[in-house]
Amino acid sequence: MTEFFGAWSGNNDDVEEIEESVETVETFTTTTSKTRRKATIPETSSTTKTTTMTTPAKLYGRELSTYDEVDVDELLAKLSQEELTMLAKEVDPDDNFLPPSQRNNYACEKDPTGPLNRKKLIEHINKQALETPDRPEVKPFVPGVIRGKKWIPPPPPEKVRDAEEQITIDLGDEYEQALGTASQEEIIDLAAILGFHSMMNQDQYHASLLNKGQPVGLGWDGITKATKQKVYPMDPPNDVDPDKSIDRVKENDQTFLDLNWNNIKNISDEKFEKLFEALKTNTHLEVVSLVNVGLNDRTAALLADALQANTSLRVVNVETNFISPAGVVQLVRALLATTCVEEFRASNQRSQVLGNKTEMEITRLVEQNPTLLRLGLHLEYSDARHRVASHLQRNIDRIRQQRRSQSGA
């Protein structure tokens, strides 16, 4: 709607004349012009106002606002069973909580024939397949005769064809002569040495690296045959008695140097408590391997206390358990109190990723440890890996230098 007010001009007569014209167009735009004349006030004013009118949305000829107060339950209650069935066929609700029988439009009106008999169903399908005649062929099959139009690959573009013709490499007379007189097996060996894996199959590549001789009959176009899978015997079960091991650790047996509880199931927390309590006073045990025994943060804290008090352990392995990153940090921190542990392994825990903060804390603790030589942890960040590897190498070099000086003296 557009309104325009014209200029006001003075007149001697005290008469106010108003002229108004209204014009309506198809785009719902109304233009109104007014002209006012007064005798005593000479004033000029001009104002333009624009308003856009839109057509409201309608449903079945009525505006949507009229359906806001409609009670859907009341309307459904007035419908008959046939009308409800017709309405259900037209509506397909996208609701995963509804069973499929209520979600789809198909309604089977046949009576059930009984429970499913898989054997009879397969026999019926096979019978139908055998009894159903094949579709007649438009042109019967004749060996050696092509039916239909034979596909001919299009010629390569001229640019590609010219590029293939122009690719030439001048290797020199010596190399040209050597490659020209080389056998196929020697060419395959050369390709393996240069790392051209796509030019050969797996058997040829490994035979070239191991210098076993190329398999007979393969060549460049040979197909690698399936090799028989190597069957490795299963690892024997761990028959170590945890109770006897705990007793030997408590007694500080001089001949008991290696404790191996790997892969022993259902070890109670009470046994772990007894073992770690005995480790505090043991002075002969050197290796403790507790792989896949169900260690958690609580038992890991007890192990950390035992490591701080022990003075004989050299290797500690707690891989494949349920220790959190905070528990791993606690174990690494406990290694600072002892000066005997040279190898510590704690990878493959409950959390595969330790996180940047945890890895930096482990790196800081490792850099403070002067005796640790090997660390079995998966560090994701390259900075942490580099710093840990550099410090461990410095520890190894220092230990070697000390041993050389002691042997020389």
- pLDDT tens, position by position, 91-147: 766 777 777 777 777 767 888 888 888 999 999 999 999 999 988 888 888 888 888
pLDDT of residue 139: 84
Burial pattern 273-311, b for ≥16 Cβ within 10 A else e, equals: ebbbbbbeebeebeebbbbbbbbeeebbbbbbbbbeebe
Q: What single-letter amino acid sits at 221?
A: D
Please answer whether residues 272 and 242 qualify as being in contact, where contact means their C-beta atoms are separated by less than 8 angstroms.
no
The answer to whether residues 377 and 353 touch, using CB atoms and an 8 Å cutoff, is no
Q: What is the mean pLDDT of residues 164-174?
A: 67
Is the per-residue pLDDT at 40 higher than 50? no
Output the CA torsion sign for 65, 68, 72, 75. Answer: negative
**20 pLDDT more than 70:** no
Answer with the residue of higher pLDDT: 40 or 351: 351
Secondary element (H or E) of residue 217? none
pLDDT surpassing 90 at residue 66: no
pLDDT at 303: 95
What's the pLDDT score for residue 118? 92
Q: Are strands 315-317 and 287-289 parallel, antiparallel or unpaired?
A: parallel
**Percent of all residues in the chain with a pLDDT value above 90, rounded to a whole number:** 39
* Per-residue DSSP letter, 9: B
Would you place residue 160 in the very low, low, confident or very high pLDDT band (cuts 50, 70, 90)?
A: low
- Residue 97 tokens, joined: 């909580």
Q: Give the whole-angstrom CA distance, residue 134 versus residue 149.
A: 23
Q: Does the pLDDT at position 21 exceed 60?
A: no
Q: Can you give the pLDDT at residue 43?
A: 43
Q: Give the pLDDT confidence score for residue 67 in this predicted structure.
A: 78
CA angle 270/272/278 to nearest 5° reads 105
In whole angstroms, what is the distance from residue 299 CA to residue 266 CA?
Answer: 14
Q: How sure is the predictor about 85, in pLDDT bands with cuts at 50, 70 and 90?
A: confident
Position 137 scores a pLDDT of: 84
The model's pTM: 0.48
Tens of pLDDT, residue by residue over 348-402, are: 998 878 889 999 999 999 999 999 999 999 999 999 999 999 999 999 999 999 8
Overall average pLDDT of the 259-280 stretch: 93
Mean pLDDT, residues 34-58 taken together: 50
pLDDT of 262 strictly over 60: yes
> Mean of the pLDDT values across residues 308-333?
94
Check whether 1 has a pLDDT greater than 60.
no
Angle at 75 between CA 69 and CA 78, to 5 degrees: 150
**Six-digit token pair at 204?**
């040829």
Identity (one letter) of the amino acid at 381? Y
Q: Would the pLDDT of 329 be above 80?
A: yes
- Mean of pLDDT values over 263-282: 93
